[in-house]
Structure 1
Amino acid sequence: MWRNLLEWWSSYRHRFVPWIVLRMRARKSLLKAEKIPNVPAAELQATVGELVKYLDSIPVGVRRGDPFASSAQRLKDLENTHNLTEIMGFSLELRKSRIPKSGRGVFVASGVVQPDTLVALYPGTVYDAGEPVLLQSFGNPYIIQCGDGCYIDGKPTGISRLIYKSCANRDFFHGFTWCDTSWLNTKRMANPYAVGQYVNNAGPPEFPANVSYHEFEIPPDFDLKYRKYIPNVHFAPEKDRPMRLIGLISLRCIQVGEELYSTYFNF
């Protein structure tokens, strides 16, 4: 029992706020030790813009892997996956992590991830500093804290799921979907790069970090047509403010078959 408890704590402590506060000095030393890529926010915004425009060009049934698709549609699906790999340079998949007892992980399925590349987005409800997040945080390994004190809750089940869907329905705007909800079911994803919450921590030395977290924002005037591919929504209802996003940036070249590993103390 104690062994299981220690294993659980080893993973969950990275999301436990009091422990994070006590580890701030260690975080600063880690920041100095790691080579953190300096990718301009404007470049990240441009990459997201290019991605969502391409996703919007793919027929819905093909994009989401329609189980009733015809053979011709499935061939088209493979073609679109290839095209997406050509545009982004790679594609991702979820499968069992190589880290023992860590559940699922994110792997490079095709292509090659070049250094300083936006690899994935961290989906979820965005809570500004001071907004209520305590109840959702209990036993929740998917909550991540930003540098300014806001949180993103990327848990796809339970109360976190209910809150995200409620906020998404609340923000339905003049016929436009305000955010992507398909990441809540990874079998039918509109944005296949909204898997940042499944990237495991690079704790053991044999699993070194190859991606790092970076904060950036999309402006309030981001094209409403493409909002449906952004996997984040504000907890508070105001729309006229930037949307906080967390992207995972590659620290080095990542080959096909490699799993993504990050650290919770690098932004």
Structure 2
Amino acid sequence: MPGCLWRDLWGRWRRYKYRFVPWIALNLSHNPRTLRYVPEESKDKVISDEDVLGTLLKVFQALFINDFNKQSDILTVLPESIKSKYQDLLSIQHPGLKMLEYGHQQQTIFNPEEILYQTLGFSIARAASSLVSAGKGVFITKGLAPKGAVVSMYPGTVYMKYEPVFFQSIGNPFIFRCLDGVLIDGNDKGISRIVYRSCNGRDQLGPLKMSDSTWLTSEMNNPLAIGQYVNNCSNDRSANVCYQEFDVPEIFPIELKQYLPNITYSYEKQSLLRCVVLVALRDIKQGEELFSNYYTIVS
């Protein structure tokens, strides 16, 4: 029995150590490829914020149109200019659609992963990692993710550095720390899951959802929202993606906020919603696993 217990604990440690900050800090010097150096916080950008925004809008708009028939509650509270925009976009993309009762249109519905592939040329999914005892990882399952592409998002509750995260952090390997101390809790279980669902319901305005909670389930609306499962690189696996912080601008379309997999913990209005995306450092082919740097080091 003691031997089985020890093997179980050792297996858990081997899976967890790549996300355990003290272990990472002690092992950074063994592999400089796990570090990414930037000159200062303001220059921690592989691609511009405009490119990140453009990608998210492109994907979210495609998801919205794909799910257009189920958006009736939202469309009723949107201005006529926005409704007509989507009707025009839908008619351009599907010119042969038949009008159904109540003005809805008959269309082919694709799953979110297929929409991602049609929109960006690749799709991603979770699967058993190629790292021994690393648990789950994220793979390019179809197509090719070119250098500079936004390949995933880090979902979760956003905490300012003065907000409490002690209980959420216990045994939690999914807390991401931004350069300015802002934390994102990407755990989809336990207290973290409860907190996110609570904040998600708190901020909903009638039929308008201000964030996406489906990343907590197996049926996700936003296929990019699995970035918390991207494993850190190792001595024999160099990083092919890196984290990039992105603040959602005020001009972000309200009807597309339902696909944002982040929400603030505090009810008080923050300046901008913090998101973190993962950006490809090189072309990543079908079947490859995504590996990130441990840290971004400001030099």
Q: Which residue number in structure 2 is paired with residue 44 of structure 1?
A: 52
| Partner Cα distance (2:230, 2:255) in 1 | 29
Identical aligned residues as a percent: 37
1:7/1:264 Cα in 2 relative to 1: closer, same or farther (>3 Å)?
A: farther
Identify the match of residue 272 of structure 2 among 242, 249, 253.
242
Identify the match of residue 156 of structure 2 among 124, 144, 155.
124
TM-score normalized by structure 2? 0.74
The residue correspondences of 1:149-164 to structure 2 (distance < 5 A) are: 149-164=181-196
Q: Does 1:30 align with 2:62?
A: no
Q: How many residues align?
A: 252
Q: Which residue number in structure 2 is paired with residue 170 of structure 1?
A: 202
Name the SS for the 1:48 alignment partner.
Answer: helix
The unaligned stretches of length 5 or more in structure 2 are 39-43, 71-105
The residue correspondences of 1:223-242 to structure 2 (distance < 5 A) are: 223-239=253-269, 241-242=271-272
| Partner Cα distance (1:140, 1:96) in 2 | 19
| Partner Cα distance (1:220, 1:204) in 2 | 41
Name the SS for the 1:31 alignment partner.
Answer: strand
Structure number with bigger Rg: 2
8 A contact 1:112–1:256 mirrored in 2: yes
| Partner Cα distance (2:214, 2:69) in 1 | 13
Q: Which residue number in structure 2 is paired with residue 198 of structure 1?
A: 229
| Partner Cα distance (1:153, 1:61) in 2 | 33
Name the SS for the 2:158 alignment partner.
Answer: strand
Q: Does 1:189 align with 2:223?
A: no
Q: Does 1:140 align with 2:172?
A: yes
1:175/1:20 Cα in 2 relative to 1: closer, same or farther (>3 Å)?
A: same
Judge which range, 99-108 or 36-45, deviates more. Answer: 36-45
Name the SS for the 2:296 alignment partner.
Answer: coil
Q: Which residue number in structure 2 is paired with residue 69 of structure 1?
A: none
TM-fit CA distance, 1:46: 1.4
TM-fit CA distance, 1:93: 1.3
TM-score normalized by structure 1? 0.82
Q: Does 1:77 align with 2:91?
A: no
1:3/1:203 Cα in 2 relative to 1: closer, same or farther (>3 Å)?
A: farther
1:220/1:20 Cα in 2 relative to 1: closer, same or farther (>3 Å)?
A: farther
1:37/1:130 Cα in 2 relative to 1: closer, same or farther (>3 Å)?
A: closer
Q: Which residue number in structure 2 is paired with residue 98 of structure 1?
A: 130
1:132/1:17 Cα in 2 relative to 1: closer, same or farther (>3 Å)?
A: farther
TM-fit CA distance, 1:130: 1.2
The unaligned stretches of length 5 or more in structure 1 are 63-72
8 A contact 2:16–2:134 mirrored in 1: no
Give CA-to-partner distance per residue, 1:140-167, whole Å, 9 cap, x none: 0111100000110000000000000001
| Partner Cα distance (2:166, 2:24) in 1 | 15
| Partner Cα distance (1:131, 1:188) in 2 | 30
Q: Which residue number in structure 1 is paired with residue 87 of structure 2?
A: none
| Partner Cα distance (2:130, 2:292) in 1 | 14
Give CA-to-partner distance per residue, 1:203-253, whole Å, 9 cap, x none: 241x22111111011123422111110000000013352110100011111
The CA RMSD over aligned residues, in Å, is: 3.0
